[in-house]
Structure 1
Amino acid sequence: MAAQFGRRLRKGAATTAVAAAAVAALSASQAPGVTAEGQDRPTATGAETAPDAAAGDSPTANGPYYTDLPPLNSPSPSPTLDTPVMPGTSEAGIPATVLDAYKKAAAELRSSKPGCNLPWELLAAIGKVESGQASGGRVRADGTTITPILGPQLDGNGFALIKDTDDGAYDGNSTYDQAVGPMQFIPSTWAWAGRDGNGDGTEDPNNIYDAAFAAGHYLCRYGWDLSTDGDRERAILSYNNSRDYLNTVLSWLEYYREGTHEIPDGTGSLPGDRSDNGGSGSVSPTPTPPASPTPPGSKPQKPGGGASNPPSTRPPGTTPPSTPPPSTTPPGTPQTPTDTVARLEDAGTAALTAQAGDAFTKKISTRAETRSGEAVAKVRVRFTIIGDTDATFTGGESVATVVTNSSGTAVAPALRAGEKTGGFTVRATVVGRTIGGLDYKATVTERAADTLTRTSDTALTCVPGGEFADQVEVKAMYKGAVADKVAATATLIKSAIDPTENDKGPYFKDADGKTVRTLTGLRTDENGLLKLPKLYADDTAGTYVLHITTAGGASINVQLTVEAAATSSPSPSPSTSATESASASPSA
């Protein structure tokens, strides 16, 4: 049925509003300066935001996809889960669990990456062309596909060669990789792009919640704003570097924006046409020359294994990656820049150290060189964060790909420290070339302060057995800037020269009302302020010292005074004075 709808749209698209939107989207996608190679994307000195369109970095490995276009009209009124499914509605509707996964992923990314403006309809459009909405919604209640959705093995026979990268953990193939799951991630991409979308503690490409969340993060990297035409096209092309793929996704995006509906899980049907099967889809495939196999990729088989996997072909208009792996270069073809890289060398990277929560002030700089030490430009260098850390690159990702400039140098995006302290590694490797990587060590230290000052100069006094009217508040700074979330300790000590905890005088109270003279686990707030709990005094008068210290060595001594209230001398009474005056005067 999907194939029939696709043919109907191609014959009469101009007569419907949905088709008009699709045509507008297709026309917009042909705008000057935008190519499948991404010539309109930032590169060179701005390469820290340059996407890597090579097959090995695309989630799908730029493989085949479903080409059916949307039906002419959505059912009206839209059916619900309680309404019998009428013929044709499964083509337009989205299975309930799959739809929920798309909306949940988009909602979470609106919170974590608001500048991306990812619409759930874009995830739905990609899910449609990648797997027919998880094989028509054949998923369990937790979102995991009932049967695996696997593409053909990428063994170089009709597809590019991608040898096993996951020991068969995701695709069950320990010899070659295969694309996996409803959003068709190849294992090597899932290794860094995978996400836990349903909160079960695992990252499973076969789970629609995990896969949709990972796809959303992938589309939102590089600071792209998907509400703009240019960034939206760049993001889609980075998912599958094909102009026809872009057009098909945009058609479904516009269709879903016009409105869609839920259908019960498992009642959807797979599209009928794929870009590699020579069917009646919008793409007329061209056989791939044996010496130049198509970039690796795969698309789902119909449940039960009924679908065959014919050799992959490159749709017309698809531009091959600018730096294909050596295995895809036809005999006699001049070497690409990537082929000539023999090693990576450090290009003057300084020590990488930052406090928790701060940006690293230095960036990683790597130089690609030939065996003779010559610089190699236009080579993709991938930087990957490795280790037990929550540090990320700008944009919140743990992987970034940068193109070397004319000096052969690739500068990684700025690193930002998370809250975990300790060391981690950033590994630089050449995309499409098997040579040794280059490791950079980075360290995250705890937040620190170098200055503490009181926010008030009011004297802190109290009577014996009473409580201090004012609470102690200090402000922490580090190198002239506010020092937020810095660990601190407050102790009532015996004197400025004796830091031993005092056993008398002022004290704090714990939750049970018991006397406490040392407070640990304190932290300054986002403004660098630390306000201590109320202070009390026992019956011992005297002058005392409150000592406050922070990570980084900042400290301050605050004087506390406990003394009895001052008493005034009584003034003479008027009657007494009058009497004394009268008796002192002579008698009449």
Structure 2
Amino acid sequence: MARYRGRHAAKQEAVRASGRRRRRGLSSTRYRRGLGGTAIAAVVMAALTASQAPGVGLGGDGGGRSGTAGDHTPGDDSYETELPPLESPHPPGGSAPGGSGDESGLPATVLAAYKKAAKSLASRTPGCGLRWELLAGIGKVESGQARGGAVDKDGTTLRPILGPVLNGAGFADIKDTDGGKWDGDTTHDRAVGPMQFIPSTWSSWGADGNGDGRKDPNNVYDAALAAGKYLCADGRDLSAKADLDRAILSYNNSSAYLRTVLAWYEYYRKGTHTVPDNDSPLLPTVPGLGESGGGPAKGSPERGGKDASRHKPGKGSDHNAGSRPGGGRPGGDRPGGGGHDKPTPAPTTPHAIERAGAKDFSAVAGESFATRPAVRAETSRGKPVKGVKVRFEIHGSTEAAFAGGARSATVTTGANGVATAPALSAGSRTGSFTITATAPGKDLGTVGFHAKVTAPQADKVVRTSEVALEAVKGGAFLVPVEVKATRKGKPVANTTLTAALADTEKGPFFKDAKGDPLRKPVTVRTDANGIAKLPPLFADDQPGTYTLTLTAEGGVTLAVQLTIKG
């Protein structure tokens, strides 16, 4: 707006010009807080202080950790220092601004993730008062809104967003804590994802924001919910300035970081609009701190895609490496300041094993299971990983076993990343049991399967005699009804058969304990030879042909004809 121009706007332009000069010389807009005693740090800090958006209450000196969440902060303390424009953002509901300098557009999926996380936490921790705009402010300085919405339909980044290697060279020295599961580095940790969590912190604060059963720091829904939980920790009320400051400082204990996040927070509160995913001016093209792994995606602006003209290197580079939950000492630009890091390859190490196929299995006692448990080893991008050893173990009191009576078996994943358990026999004992799949020596999670061994069910029921079943009026059927139940030609012992008369008003009948006519269904069980004999049948004074139906467990039936002669 007009009242924000003049001398104040000139200061803002000076800051931007300084930022552009630094981008040409350092390949990143970030700075190292460890240079606080240098002339560069003094100039930057002065510019930051002079150029805050009006109306933002800035506070916190970064000197303490009171009220921090847990033992660590999310990341490595490097972050984006560019401030929002002094002009107020376009108000919600209006037409999107047409200028390329507009910063109020938020990628649709990223915005949805922030709002969903805030709504979820409003019901879980109603006293926190978290606004989605705070998550947007942090997401802005941490990853340029997930690199301008470069996410798939589920909210997972198309390429890894990784912070600097925390090897003690300008940053904290944090040895690997996740076996490279999230950051692809088996030597040191790196901050990961849209909200830049260090793996060790993600293990404590990770959340499932999109309901897919996984907690993935590369997923903007998961990361936003985890960040919200982190900010709301320790009973903070974010509507109170002191608690708001403490929450942001717990993410990165830096007064400059606090001012930057608050500036964007206030900017977004004044109005935003939605832009398509991966169509935002926030998408960076300069690799470096917090670079996307694997190099530019096919068709992207970095590789001369159709939108390359809108994303020239050095312009709109709002990306960062993140000041993430996880802890690291003050940092910023890489030591030496010159050159670009090589793009980080997409991780090829497995980060999880997932179920491949059915979860529940059943088999008949004495037989083998028709299908077998299987899992798929995947990278953080969902790509298959070959050569991962998977151990399947049977738990329970049934006699189910793999070949040779083994209760466990180890299988190696193939080119498709899938490992399938060996053939599994049910044994003779009925009941339920579980099978677990793990990757020995790797933290890839546990996949569970549920299996049940059922009693044999007949697939055929036949009479043991071909003699006609006849009786005279008021008499008894002289030949008893006897049947045999089999499965695949073998007798089925101890299975239940239900005998039901088609006509319950007249005709043949059984007798109850008192000797009265009984035309309700009766049940019998087969003996060790699969034989079952029904109780005696009697005839009333209504001649005719009647039907008795026997149904075995599993559904197979046999219709028996009964005749009463006149």
Q: TM-score range by the shorter chain?
A: 0.3 to 0.5
Taking structure 2 as the reference length, what is the TM-score of the superposition?
Answer: 0.42
Taking structure 1 as the reference length, what is the TM-score of the superposition?
Answer: 0.41
